[in-house]
Structure 1
Amino acid sequence: MLYRGEVLTFIIIGTVALVMAILLMVGETRISWPEFRPVFLVNGAIIAFGLALRLRPNAARISITMVALGLYPIFSSLLALVFSLSFPLHRPLIDDQLFAMDALLGYDWVHAVEWLAQYPLLAKGLAAVYISSLGQLLILLLFLGLTLRVWQLHHLLLTGMLGAVMTYVFWIVWPSFGPSAYLSPDPAAVEAASLLVTPSYGAQLMHLAEFGQAVIYRHEILGTVAFPSFHIVMAVLAVWFARGTLLFWPFLLLNLPMLPATAIHGGHHLIDLPAGIALFALACLIAERLLRTARSATTPPVMARA
């Protein structure tokens, strides 16, 4: 038996898988399945084991947590494949318009990189913050599941998935790569700033936009979206759903520097950041309305903690 939130996430995963299948049929790009198969098999087994535990009394904490832990990697892998299968791009990039907005706001990514290069310890700290997003979500999923915050857990899952899908839909219509695909800070500054998204990374994105790729390998999948920033979506996701728990203040303090970390290390336009916050808010509202009709499980009742 499934919770309402789990049913909705399975529907989203199935829809993304269908889109992937269609893109495979109509395009020429192929997937190196041996590299992706373990992700689906292992996480599918985790979900199956979590569901099997629902036949046992007093196993709700582990069951709910394991199903959630298995669902998100499968969804993320499928959507990453959909992104990769969408190359080459058939619509013009909108980075020129985003650069114009940066200019209005007085923001210059190259100057930001060169400024950060003067403070190597700060640069490394911001890099560590930037790469912490997935780890934060893993910790939060574990915490919410093991403390039986069922409503929060499924609201988190659904918001994250809807936010990612909405990001893809926006990007496929109005694609953007960010400043790193166009600008080249001084190589010494790039090295001193420990920059994560570099001009060479941006060059790979531009190559994909024009030529696509013949075969998708797991180790070659790149983050592609500039506007809106999904990294900011994940940061707000972690802080918002940690409210009312002991994780809230640590997550809030950790994610405040996520704003400059994403702008500089993520190679983003400044406008990408508030756009990510707005997209999160919309996804969160839609997810809440989808879940509102049925908070309780269809399995033996477990009290959902708000």
Structure 2
Amino acid sequence: MHDRSNTDDRLLSTVTWQTTLAIALLAALSLSLVGLSCSIEVSADTLVWMAFYAFFAIYFSFVRPNSQVARVLICFGQLVVVILMGIMLSYAASTVPLPYRDAHLHAMDQWLGFDRASYLAVLSRHDALRNALSYAYNSMMSQNILVLAAAILTRRLDRLQFYIIAFAVAVTATAAIACFIPAANAIIYLDKAPTELSTLPGGGHSYFPILEGLRNGTLRVIDFRSVEGLISFPSFHTANAILFVWALWPIRILRFFLVPLNLLLIAGTPLCGAHYAVDVIGGAAVACGAIAATTWLVRAHCPSNDLVQAIPSPIDWRPWLHPIWLSASARLSRPRGQTAPPENR
């Protein structure tokens, strides 16, 4: 176990609480400003689990104090809050009715040499690869649980708190950027999927009807049972993939699992998330900014050398900024004449 003073732990907990409360207040204010409300229907089972959680959190915090158990329970609650508030911020950001920027994002993809048709063509011939990308892309919630479990098992809750702070910063930045650079997605703009359907003819899912409802004002109540990601640029899946590796990097045994899994997650964003390649680069930039902001916050509020040194060390992000699939797709693309992109929706 990495020994640090109780003062260090209290200072870091204070920063984590401040970050959690800040994103909660920001989400509430944003929803109020854009006129959105939430429809929350909680099942009896969920109420029971919430009651158990509240009881044990209070019990180990005040009745029979156990700082380690209380800290675990509190961190779990903070992680849930920042995830939910991040989703709420994405809904609020999606109400901004600025013109879609898909044409600009597609043009940047072409400049980067990424050809979506070639990318999809390669994957259509390799079912195993498609399945692997889909599995990795859908692993975000499982990886959040892994961050929690790994921090508990290694008795390093500071790593979990670093992750909570960085997650809150990244998801807030993602929503703020999406306000000014809204986009449908590549399935709608390039693949010409039906815009009025949530369930696509091929069996896929499109969030476009919800996005349009938020933008045109016909959707004003968020159903908590079916919330989903709505932001194309920047890719939060990419940002979160980098944060997973960053938070757990000091646990060497997990690197051999986390790095390939999250490289696959990033590589699958154009397929599973209908993202543009530039969305991935934007998500990587958001993650790097969130890591820098987290480091600054901890150093500014927790001057202890031991605590500052406990921040996960930076890693070489070049493989993330230039994923293997990006260069591979450029090589697979055949030279073709440039055509003007279709009119943006």
Instruction: Report the Cα offset of residue 255 of structure 1.
Output: 1.4
Give the Cα separation in 2 of the matches to 1:229 and 1:186.
Answer: 20
Matched residue, 2:227: 221
Given that residues 83 and 168 in structure 1 are in contact (C-alpha distance below 8 angstroms), is that contact kept between their aligned partners in structure 2? yes
**Aligned residue identity for 1:174:** I
Given that residues 50 and 65 in structure 1 are in contact (C-alpha distance below 8 angstroms), is that contact kept between their aligned partners in structure 2? no
Matched residue, 1:273: 280
1:238 counterpart (217, 240, 244): 244
Give the Cα separation in 2 of the matches to 1:291 and 1:285.
Answer: 10
Matched residue, 2:173: 166
Given that residues 6 and 154 in structure 1 are in contact (C-alpha distance below 8 angstroms), is that contact kept between their aligned partners in structure 2? yes
Give the Cα separation in 1 of the matches to 2:46 and 2:293.
Answer: 28
RMSD between superposed Cα atoms in Å = 3.4
Written as runs of structure 1 = structure 2, the 5 A alignment for 1:58-97 is 59-97=66-104
Give the Cα separation in 2 of the matches to 1:185 and 1:60.
Answer: 55
Written as runs of structure 1 = structure 2, the 5 A alignment for 1:46-195 is 46=53, 49-50=56-57, 52-54=59-61, 56=64, 59-184=66-191
Runs ≥4 in structure 1, deviation > 4 angstroms? 35-45, 54-57
Give the Cα separation in 2 of the matches to 1:37 and 1:127.
Answer: 32
Instruction: Report the Cα offset of residue 132 of structure 1.
Output: 0.6
What's the CA shift string for 1:9-38, capped at 9, x where partnerless? 332333333334334444443311335999
Number of aligned residue pairs: 293
Give the Cα separation in 2 of the matches to 1:130 and 1:252.
Answer: 13
Instruction: Report the Cα offset of residue 87 of structure 1.
Output: 4.4
Give the Cα separation in 2 of the matches to 1:283 and 1:143.
Answer: 21
Matched residue, 2:267: 260
Give the Cα separation in 1 of the matches to 2:122 and 2:178.
Answer: 30
Instruction: Report the Cα offset of residue 130 of structure 1.
Output: 0.4
TM-score relative to the length of structure 2: 0.73
Give the Cα separation in 2 of the matches to 1:291 and 1:36.
Answer: 38
Instruction: Report the Cα offset of residue 163 of structure 1.
Output: 0.8
**Aligned residue identity for 2:124:** A
Given that residues 148 and 305 in structure 1 are in contact (C-alpha distance below 8 angstroms), is that contact kept between their aligned partners in structure 2? no
Instruction: Report the Cα offset of residue 143 of structure 1.
Output: 1.2
Unaligned runs of 5+ in 1: 297-303
Instruction: Report the Cα offset of residue 123 of structure 1.
Output: 1.2
Instruction: Report the Cα offset of residue 44 of structure 1.
Output: 8.5
Matched residue, 2:23: 16
* Structure possessing the higher radius of gyration over alpha carbons: 2
CA pair 238-47 structure 1, distance change in 2 beyond 3 A = farther
What's the CA shift string for 1:121-174, capped at 9, x where partnerless? 221221111001221121122211332213322211111111111111111122
Q: 1:34 aligns to what SS in structure 2?
A: coil
TM-score relative to the length of structure 1: 0.81
Q: Please, which moves more after superposition, 114-123 or 264-273?
A: 114-123
Given that residues 101 and 182 in structure 2 are in contact (C-alpha distance below 8 angstroms), is that contact kept between their aligned partners in structure 1? yes
Give the Cα separation in 2 of the matches to 1:290 and 1:48.
Answer: 31
Give the Cα separation in 2 of the matches to 1:280 and 1:160.
Answer: 9
2:302 counterpart (263, 275, 294): 294
Matched residue, 1:32: 39
Percent identical among aligned pairs is: 23
